[in-house]
Amino acid sequence: MPDFERIFRKIELDLAPTPEAKAYVAGKHAGLDRARKEVLVVVGLIALGGIAALVLVTVMPELRGLP
């Protein structure tokens, strides 16, 4: 999380005028955190797939049908 994001999140939550607004802001922050985790998982899977493809191409050429 960037340096000042925690501070800005706290201020945003503290300045929300109603309990409904506070709940909305808390949900927004939870959604942003979940989206970051999902992006991390997707990027990790893509990297893993790239590494697997590289291994198949370079280390195991017989699986590509080469003699």
| φ, ψ dihedrals at 13, nearest 5° | -70, -40
17 pLDDT exceeds 70?
A: yes
19 pLDDT exceeds 90?
A: yes
The tens digit of pLDDT for each residue in 26-51 reads 999 999 999 999 999 999 999 999 99
Question: Residue 29 and residue 9: Cα distance in Å, rounded?
Answer: 8
pLDDT computed for residue 3 by the predictor? 77
Tell whether pTM > 0.85: no
pLDDT computed for residue 48 by the predictor? 97
Q: Delimit the domains of the chain by residue range.
A: 5-64
